[in-house]
Amino acid sequence: MPDPQTGSAPVAPAMPHGKAFKGFLLALAGLLLFACMDASTKYLTAHYNVPFVVAMRYLIHCGLMLLLLAPRHAGSLVKTQRTGLVVLRGATLVVSSLCVGLALQRMPLAETTAINFLAPMLVMLVASPVLGERIGTIGWLAAGAGFIGVLLIARPGGGLDALGVLFAMGAVVSNCIYQLLSRILARTEKAVAMLFYTALVGSIVFGSLLPWSWESDTPSQTELVLFGVMGLSAALGHYLFTLAYRYAAASVLSPVLYLQLLWAALLGWLIFGTLPDALATVGMIIIAASGFLMAFKMRWGGKAKTKK
C-alpha cells in the first residue's frame, strides 16, 4: 500500500487538463499495483512466514532498481544530503511492511487497507506541532471522522482478529513517521534516491534474517509467479506514482489515493471471496470521504494563501 505509501514528491505547477488526466491514470495504475502487491503478500503469508515473504519483496524490488537504473543513474541512486534521516525513513517503512504483512496474515485485504489509511490523518495531526502546519476546523473534523471510520471497521464483535488490528495500527504509526520524514526530506533529497534507500534498507534488514526465516519448501509455479508479482508491483507501483507527479499537482493526486480502497475491496472479493460487512463498508466510506475532505482542504487552503 502507498505504502500510502508512496514517499514524497515535489509539488508540481498547474498543468494542462490533458497532462493532469495522464497523471491521474498513472496514479490509478500505481495504486492498482500496490493493491496487487498487498493481495500477493496476503496469499503468500498463508503459506510462508511473514519475514521471508517481505524479504522476497524487498530483494526483488532492490534488484530491479539496480538492474534497470544503476547502469545509467548510479550516482542519483546513492547521493543524499541527509543520509542518516534517509536511512531512518527506510527503517520506518521496514517496520510498516512487517506490520502490514502480519496484519494481512490475519485480516481481510480491504479492512487492512482501510485501517492503514488512518496514517495520512495521523500525519496531519502530528504535522501541526512537528512541522508547524495549521490544521483548522475542517481538518479536525476530517480526522475525527476518520477515527470513527476505523472504529466501525475494527469494532468489538466485528469478527476481525484483535492481534491483526494491533499490527495494522502499528503499521499506521510507522507509516506516519515515514510520511513525516518524507515531507522533511523532500526539500533536499531526490525521489529516486529515497526510493532506492527504502529498498536497500529493507533488503539488508530482511536479507540478514533469511538464515532464520528461510522456507525449505519448494514454491509452486503459482507461488513463484506471486513472489515476482509482489516485488515487481512494489517497484513499478512506486515508479508510476512518482511519474504521475510530473503531470499533475500533488493536490490533484491526493484524493486519488483513496481509490486504493476500491482496488483492495475488488481484489479481496475476486481472490479471497471476502467482502466487508455493512458497518465496515460504512467505515471505509467515511475514511475515504475524510481523506477527500482533507485533500481538498489542502488544495483550497493553498489557493487562498496564494491569492493573499
Tens of pLDDT, residues 157-181: 677 888 999 999 999 999 889 888 8
Query: Average pLDDT for residues 15-40, to the nearest whole number?
Result: 80
Above 90 in pLDDT, residue 91? yes
Above 50 in pLDDT, residue 123? yes
Query: Average pLDDT for residues 8-20, to the nearest whole number?
Result: 50
Instruction: Give me the pLDDT at residue 299, please.
Output: 56
Instruction: Give me the pLDDT at residue 8, please.
Output: 42
pLDDT digit string (tens) for 183-237? Answer: 788 788 888 888 889 999 999 999 999 988 888 777 888 999 999 999 889 888 8
The average confidence (pLDDT) of the chain is: 81
Instruction: Give me the pLDDT at residue 304, please.
Output: 46
| More confident of the two residues 263 and 242 | 263
Above 60 in pLDDT, residue 307? no
Above 80 in pLDDT, residue 272? yes
Q: How confident is the model at residue 97 (pLDDT cuts 50, 70, 90)?
A: very high
| More confident of the two residues 207 and 238 | 207
Instruction: Give me the pLDDT at residue 18, please.
Output: 59
CB distance 38 to 112 below 8 Å: yes
Q: Supply the pTM of this predicted model.
A: 0.82
Q: Which residues contact 223 (CB under 8 A, 6 or more apart)?
A: 44, 47
